[in-house]
Structure 1
Amino acid sequence: MYEAQTFEEILTRMLDSVPNDVDKREGSIIYDALSPAAAELAQAYIEMDSNINLFFTDSSSGDYLEKRALDYGLIRDPATQAQRKGLFFSSPGVLFDIPIASRFSIDSQNYTVTERISLGTFILECESFGVIGNQDYGSMLPLDYISGLVDVQLADVIVPGEESENDDAFRQRILLHARFPSASGNKSDYINWSLEVPGVGGAQVVPLAYGPGTVGITIVDSDAKPASIQLIADVQNYISPVTGDGKAPILSGVTVVTAIGVAVDVTSAIVLVSGYTLLQVKATFETAVIAYLKSIAFAADPTVKYTRIGSLLSETLGVQDYSGLLINGGVANVSVIAGRVAVKGTVTLT
C-alpha cells in the first residue's frame, strides 16, 4: 500500500546507498548533493498524497469533486434566484395590478415581477443569485414610473434563493446517490427527484401513503423550514404533473405536501462576559440554534436535544454561564415526528 515518505526517510535511504568509506556527515559534499533531491522527492510525495485523496468522493473537493460526480450523472447545483411575494397598492389597503416585467428595488437589490397571483399580488424574482434575495422585507421603490401606484411591499419568500451547492452538500448528495441507487421508482428515486428541484432542502417519502399505487412526499425548503405553496407545486409538477410527463412512473399517485413546523422556544437566564451585550449574544445564539435545527431536519433522529441546546448556549461567545434553561417550557427533549420539522421559535434571554 502507498505510504508517504518524509524528507528524513528519503535522505537516510539515499545515504545508505552510498559506500561507507565516503564522508556522509551533514555538511559533506555527498550530503549537500543529496539533500535537495530528497527535499524535492518529499514534496512530490506530499502532492501525490493530496492527489490520491482527490480520487475519492469522501475526500475530494472543488473541480475534482465535480468530475467524480459526473460518473453518476450528477452536477453541482448552481445558485438560484429568490422568488418573493409582492403586494401593490393604489391607496392604503387597496390592491392594484401592475404590468408584468415591472422592476423594483429595495436596499440595492432589484426584483422583477414575473407572475400574477391575484389582484395586486404578484411573484417577484430577485435579479441577484443566492440567499441575498431572501433577506429584505418592506417598502420597495419602482425603477420605472407606474401611474396610480403609491405603495409596494416585499413580503413572503415563496421559493428561497440558494448559493451554489457547496462541497459538503454536494458530496453528501453524491454519496446518497451511490449508496441508495435508483430502481425504477423506488423510495430513493423520489427523494433524489425532490432534491433536484431548486429550493428544496430535504424530503421524506412514504410508500403507499394513501393506498396502493400512491406515494406521499413531505418536503422542506432550503432553510429546512415548511415549504411554500409554490415550492410544493414545483415539486409536484416536476415529479408527477397531471399530464403524466414527470419523473414518476405512469399511474403513480404522488402527493407532495410541506412538513409542519414545530416551534422550539428557548428561555434562559445568562451571565454575560464583560464587553458583550445581550443583543449580541442573543443574535449569535439564535444563529447557532437555526443551524442545529437545520442539521437535524429529516434526520434519522430529528429529536431536539435539551442538552444540545444547553451546549450551544454555553459555547456562545459572550456567555459566561446560564441557568433556568427551558425548551418549550420544560427541561426535556422535544420530539419531532415524521412529517414535521423543528423551527426556531421565540428565544428569550435575560
Structure 2
Amino acid sequence: MYEDQTFDVILQRMLSRVPETMDKRESSPIYAALAPAAVELTSMYIAFDCMLAETFGDTASREYLIRLCADRGITPKKATQAVLELETDVEVTDGKRFTGGENTYIVTAPGQVTCEQIGTVGNEYTGDVLPIEYISGLTTAKIARVLIYGEAEESTESLRQRYFESFEERAFSGNVKDYRNKTLALAGVGAVKVIRTWNGPGTVKLVILDSAHGKATDTLISAVQKEFDPNGDGMGDGLAPIGHVVTVETVKESVVNIATNIIFDSGYGLNECKALIEDAIKKYILSLRQDWENQNHLIVRIASLDAAIMGVKGVLDVTGTTINESTKNLELTEYEIPVMGVVTYGE
C-alpha cells in the first residue's frame, strides 16, 4: 500500500515545501536536516505496510496468523508421535525401549510401541528392532506396521485455510462441523465423514481415514471412539454431547488392478519407465483418497489413468487401459476408497 513512499519521494515532497529562495542543494543545511527525517519516515511507511499485512488472515505471517486464529478458538495442530505394532517372541512389559533405524521406541501397550521422535519420522521405519536394555528370553523383535501415523506440525497454509473456514459455518456442540473439527484435531486422523441419525435419533457415525488417507487401523478407531463416546452409551463421557451415541468406523478398500498397453518413445522402454509409471498411478489414486471427504463417492477414471501415464517422460501413447478387467470407470460407494493393486502391461 505504501510502496511508492520511497526515500526520494518523501524527501522531494519535504523540499518542495521549502521556499525557492533558500538553498536546497545536497550540501545545504536544509537538505542535511531533512534527509535523516526522510529516512525515518521511509522506515515508518515500511512498518505500516508490514503491520497492515499482519492484520489480515490472507497475508499474516505464521506468528500473527496464530494470534488471529486464537480469536476464533483455533490453535495449530501440534506434531504427534507414531504408534506402531511390535511383534516379539516373548511378552514385553510397558516402558521397555527399543531402537531401530534412527529412531527409538517405547512400549505403551501389549504389542504396541510409540516412537519417541515426534513427527513423520516415526512412520518411516519397519523391520527389526533391538532392545536398549536386556529383556529375558527375547530373541526376535520387529516393527510390523504403523497403527497411528505420526504427523508434522500443521503447516501455515493449512492453518490459514481452517481460519477462513471458521467464517463459513458455525461450529457448536453436536453439529456436523463440530464433530468434523474435533475428529480432525485427533492425532492420526486425516479425513472424516459424519453420518447423522444413521441408526435412529441420537446416533452419530464417524467414518474416518488415517493421516495417510488410507483405511484406519483398529487401534486408531478405538482411540477415536474413546475420545468421543468411550462406552458407546451416549452418557457424555467423551467429546460427544449427552444423548449422542457415537460409533466410529473406517472405509472399505477397493483394489484397483490396471492393465494397459504403452507405446514408448525412442530410447525408452518398460524397464526405464515402469517405476515412474506406477508412481504416477499411485499419485493419482492417492489424490482421489485425499478428496474422499469432499465427494459423495469416488470414481477411478480410465481417462485420468491414461493422463497420469502420459505424463511420464518416454511414454508416447497409451491404449486399451482397463480397470479390474473392465473398460468402464470404477465407481465406488460413499464409504469406499481405491488402493493400488497390480499393473500389467500388454505387448
Aligned position for 2:106: 112
**CA offset digits 1:94-127 (Å, max 9, x no partner):** xx212221111211211111101xxxxx111111
Amino acid at match of 2:94: I
2:60 and 2:306 mapped to 1: Cα distance?
34
SS of 1:262's equivalent in the other structure is strand
Matched, 1:256 2:256: no
Write the mapping of 1:1-350 to structure 2, written as runs, cut at 5 A: 4-5=3-4, 48-89=48-89, 96-116=90-110, 122-242=111-231, 244-268=236-260, 269=262, 271=264, 277-278=272-273, 281-282=276-277, 284-285=279-280, 288-289=283-284, 291-300=286-295, 302-316=298-312, 318-324=313-319, 326=321, 328-329=323-324, 330=326, 333-347=329-343
Are the counterparts in 1 of residues 84 and 145 from structure 2 also a CA contact under 8 Å?
A: yes
Taking only aligned residues, the RMSD between alpha carbons, in angstroms, comes to: 3.7
SS of 2:227's equivalent in the other structure is helix
Q: Which runs of 5+ in 2 are unaligned?
A: none
Decide which moves more: 255-264 or 189-198: 255-264
Decide which moves more: 36-45 or 254-263: 36-45
Are the counterparts in 1 of residues 14 and 34 from structure 2 also a CA contact under 8 Å?
A: yes
- Give the TM-score taking structure 2 as reference length: 0.80
Amino acid at match of 2:83: Q
In structure 2, relative to structure 1, the CA distance for the partners of 1:106 and 1:61 (3 Å cut) is same
Q: Cα offset for 1:203?
A: 0.8
1:208 and 1:165 mapped to 2: Cα distance?
32
Are the counterparts in 1 of residues 2 and 46 from structure 2 also a CA contact under 8 Å?
A: no
Q: Cα offset for 1:151?
A: 0.9
- Give the aligned length: 336
In structure 2, relative to structure 1, the CA distance for the partners of 1:154 and 1:256 (3 Å cut) is same
2:113 and 2:317 mapped to 1: Cα distance?
44
In structure 2, relative to structure 1, the CA distance for the partners of 1:291 and 1:44 (3 Å cut) is farther
Decide which moves more: 205-214 or 6-15: 6-15
Amino acid at match of 2:210: D
Are the counterparts in 2 of residues 278 and 349 from structure 1 also a CA contact under 8 Å?
A: no
Decide which moves more: 35-44 or 296-305: 35-44
2:2 and 2:282 mapped to 1: Cα distance?
42
Are the counterparts in 1 of residues 147 and 217 from structure 2 also a CA contact under 8 Å?
A: yes
Aligned position for 1:119: none
Q: Cα offset for 1:159?
A: 0.7
- Give the TM-score taking structure 1 as reference length: 0.79
In structure 2, relative to structure 1, the CA distance for the partners of 1:310 and 1:20 (3 Å cut) is farther
Amino acid at match of 1:177: S
Q: Cα offset for 1:244?
A: 2.7
Decide which moves more: 294-303 or 200-209: 294-303
Decide which moves more: 209-218 or 306-315: 306-315
In structure 2, relative to structure 1, the CA distance for the partners of 1:314 and 1:64 (3 Å cut) is farther
1:321 and 1:35 mapped to 2: Cα distance?
65
Are the counterparts in 2 of residues 104 and 140 from structure 1 also a CA contact under 8 Å?
A: yes
Q: Cα offset for 1:46?
A: 6.0
